Chain A
């Protein structure tokens, strides 16, 4: 049964990890603004739009090459 001491030590170690993660998340301000990120995530990044277009164009070009 004394193996349980090791297991508990390990479980506490994991739990302390979670506690530290929580404290860190508070400290780094993840709870100071809970609204803006939810909006920000919806903004289309124009760079990625342009990249997509470039990717599309290159695909079309490649296809054309293959056809020829």
Chain B
């Protein structure tokens, strides 16, 4: 019944595609869900930009109610210079990060800003990185006006300390491409000039032959000195720390290959192994590119500063001005508006404080504060404007202390002893032993052959398969995960995932979801007056459901309510604007239906106006759909626990999901969460933590793999190892299984390369390694390893349903 009503009466917002509550907001035949969307439409209509709606149905983004006052700090010259990329007498250039862009309409609109304001000379979108670079004439339009304009059409840029302090650098990535270009160019040409060698063409013209060989030498110089330089640097760094990482045997192989080739050419006038050298470096770099392919739109490197406002308004001698947060001094009077974060510990001076500490402590209920009370940094003001006096500088606040905990100095990949590094250590030692033994054996024949054999062993036993199988397998795995909206920070996370044996869930934002989306009205379309009546009535009640209904209805003025009555467990009733309104259970509004299913997940609240039942609000019990199945799937293989900053009010509901009470831990502060993870790890557990990254950032960092759940993948990326779209949380056990499969594929590849090395070494030990055999063996082994890695991962991904066939 309800679904029928839904489909009949749903009006879709012309701008953003959300469901409209009623027909009240409309222009001609176009309906809008809120006045914000309507405003955007009007702006676009004036600017003759309505083509925007031609590319895609309902492409818009509903603008959040923003006050232009919020951007006052952009009038501060210091802040402006921090943010700008470039500025001269006339033109300024700035790059914004706009996570909301999602389709071709967005691109079109953002690139046509000049039609809305001619002072903007050009605006260019980089969709992959969700960036917009704007050039504007700063004499005619201020930065603040630019930001307000972009925000007014629904694309509010994300501006924070983070963006001001460090522009994301892509130089390192580019240099890798240069290196591949150079290596590929040299590799191709060296192969061509080696043709006479391959076909063992005996030309009488020895000049020509040596000409080719010297060309090869010249071409291999940039490969050796430029393209391969990263490997030498990394190996040197590793050895200085007394670690044998994968780059040590690689550099050793490359070095010996080059030196022996130069020696053979200059002293013996033979061809050498230049082709193998260039080919090896080329393949290695391709593997490296795959491994470094991170998601541009994800910027994982964020610290606490990303949450803090850029600037704050201070009051000096009754004059308000905005200054950068960094310049905040003890004793300053600051003004905090509704929904702004308090940047430093301060004492409340004026106004009603209603502070939401969910960000710091995980407690989701705001706390009342009166004048003279202390408010900690990181609290969010929920009711109107307050005035505070700063008592600690920004960097010494409680929040920063928590975030500056050692765990945030996150383990880097180099210190992480992954499988290939472990193997390469033994590999290097074994190869060196074989080389020395073989050389010692040949010494009795001739010292020349001994050196020959020694170098041949080092050349042919190149760990290319070692070096290639890992990046190709893990890189492909990351790509497959990425398609399923599960984004990893780097490849080593896959290896860690395979070792996990304990999983910790955070409650708020992970198991539960919050926000407007979990309340749906079904039934007769209500007009504004009726909505206002309902909002006025629920305002008088403190029941959580009333609060949710209150939040879901727009509007800020109310009718007086008379004859208010709240029979416990049934509902609320009252007379508003001359209408008798009842809100509550089906019995309460005298509706004759039998609730067929007692649903944990959903609650229905019926509304009757003047004893006519007009419809109901369906309120999801904010647990994520399918979370119980996820937990059930995981419980057989992993040790599960749940952490929550709230009190144990939800315990009964949680017990329907989790098996035993011992798995549930309530009233956990961020530090408690961190220590809980530490305690698990001291019991030799490898811990995977799933959280929202807000008040469990420390725990996420401490865990071996920290996954942050988000509804908008591009919107929020705290310190974690991976980001997962909330809709994909149900697949987490599949992801974990697949990470194990990936490791198995790597092991298989090691076997294959072991076989190649066996063949190669048998040639080398017998002193029979010719440049031709080396040139054949090395690329063939590399290519077959790459093929096995990519094909096998794709095959298993299809089998597991992670890739469409």
| Chain A residues close to B by CB (< 8 Å) | 1-2, 4-5, 8, 12, 15-16, 18-19, 22-23, 26-27, 31-36, 39-40, 42-44, 46
Contact = CB atoms under 8 A, between A and B. Distances in A.
B93 to A, nearest CB: 15
B205 A1 contact: yes
Contacts of A43: 108, 111
Nearest to A5: B211
Most A Cβ at <10 Å: residue of B129, B178, B181:
B181
Interface in B153-201: 170, 174, 177-178, 181-182, 185, 188-189, 193
25 contacts: A1-B203, A1-B205, A2-B205, A5-B208, A8-B215, A12-B189, A12-B215, A15-B189, A16-B185, A18-B185, A19-B185, A22-B181, A22-B185, A32-B126, A32-B128, A33-B126, A33-B127, A33-B129, A35-B127, A36-B125, A36-B126, A39-B127, A40-B107, A40-B111, A42-B104
A48 B178 CA distance: 39
Most B Cβ at <10 Å: residue of A1, A36, A42:
A36
Closest 4 CB pairs of A and B: A33-B126, A36-B127, A39-B104, A19-B185
Contacts of A15: 185, 188-189
Given A15-B189, A36-B125, A39-B127, A26 B178 contact: yes
A19 to B, nearest CB: 5
Nearest to B205: A1
Interface string B79-121: 0000000000000000000000000100110010000000000
A33 to B, nearest CB: 4
Given A4-B208, A19-B181, A34 B128 contact: yes
A26 B104 CA distance: 25
A64 B177 CA distance: 61
A23 B126 contact: no
B211 to A, nearest CB: 6
Contact of B178 (A8, A16, A23, A40): A23
A26 B181 contact: yes
A31 B177 contact: yes
Given A36-B127, A46-B51, 17 more contacts: A2-B205, A2-B207, A4-B208, A5-B211, A12-B189, A15-B185, A15-B189, A19-B181, A19-B182, A26-B174, A26-B178, A27-B174, A32-B126, A32-B128, A33-B129, A34-B128, A35-B128
A23 B185 CA distance: 11
A39 B102 CA distance: 12
B128 A36 contact: yes
Contact of B181 (A23, A36, A44, A46): A23
A15 B188 CA distance: 10
A15 B181 CA distance: 12
B208 A32 contact: no
A39 B107 contact: yes
B281 to A, nearest CB: 15
B170 A32 contact: yes
Nearest to A37: B127
A48 to B, nearest CB: 14
A15 B185 CA distance: 8
Contacts of B182: 19, 23
B181 A33 contact: no
A31 B174 CA distance: 9
Nearest to B103: A39
Nearest to B178: A23
A23 to B, nearest CB: 6
A2 B209 CA distance: 11
Most B Cβ at <10 Å: residue of A18, A33, A46:
A33
A35 to B, nearest CB: 5
Contacts of B215: 8, 12
A19 B223 CA distance: 14
Contacts of A2: 205, 207-208
B111 to A, nearest CB: 7
Contacts of A8: 193, 215
A8 B196 CA distance: 14
B186 to A, nearest CB: 9
Contacts of B205: 1-2
A2 B125 CA distance: 54
A33 B170 CA distance: 12
Nearest to A9: B215
Contact of A36 (B107, B203, B207, B208): B107
Contacts of A46: 51
B275 to A, nearest CB: 16
Contacts of A35: 127-128
A4 to B, nearest CB: 7
A8 B104 CA distance: 48
A60 B745 CA distance: 70
A26 B211 CA distance: 32
A39 B108 CA distance: 9
A25 to B, nearest CB: 9
Contacts of B111: 40, 43
B576 to A, nearest CB: 50
A34 B174 CA distance: 15
A55 B304 CA distance: 59
Contacts of B193: 8
Contacts of B185: 15-16, 18-19, 22
A36 B185 CA distance: 29
Most B Cβ at <10 Å: residue of A5, A18, A27, A39:
A39
B713 to A, nearest CB: 16
A60 B650 CA distance: 76
B361 to A, nearest CB: 41
A5 B650 CA distance: 83
Contacts of A32: 126, 128-129, 170
A18 B185 CA distance: 9
Contacts of A33: 126-129
A59 to B, nearest CB: 25
A23 B227 CA distance: 13
A19 B226 CA distance: 15
Interface in B204-251: 205, 207-208, 211, 215
